[in-house]
Structure 1
Amino acid sequence: MITHPNFDPIAVQLGPLAIRWYALSYIVGFALFIWLGRKRIAQGNTLFTKESLDDLLTWGVIGVILGGRLGYVLFYKFTEYAANPLSALKIWEGGMSFHGGFLGVVLAVYLFTRKHKLNFLKTLDFIAPLVATGLASGRIGNFINGELWGRVTQPNNFWAMGFPQAKNEDLLAASHNPQYLEWLNQYGMLPRHPSQLYQFALEGMCLFFIVWWFSKKSRPTGQITALFLGGYGLFRFIAEFARQPDEHLGLLTLGMSMGQWLSLPMFVLGVVGFMYFGKRKSAL
Structure 2
Amino acid sequence: MCRLYGFFGTEPTKVECTLVHAQNALISQSRSDLAGYSHSHGWGVATFDHAGPDIERQAWAAYHGEHFARAAAQIYSRLVIAHVRRATVGGAAIENTHPFSDGRWVFAHNGTVPNFADIRPVLRERMTPGHRQAIQGETDSEHVFRYFLTLVETGAVDPEADLAGAIRRLVGEMYELTEKHAPGKKLGFNIILSDGQRMAGSRLNRTLHYVDRQGVYDCEICGFPHIHHDPKANYRAIVVASEPLTHEEWIEIPNGSIWQMSATDGIIVDSLGLQNDLQNTVPV
Tell me, yes or no, whether TM beats 0.5: no
> Per the shorter chain, which TM-score range?
0.3 to 0.5
TM-score when scaled to structure 1? Answer: 0.34
Rg comparison, structure with higher value: 1
Between Structure 1 and Structure 2, which shows a larger proportion of helix residues? 1
TM-score under structure 2 length normalisation: 0.34
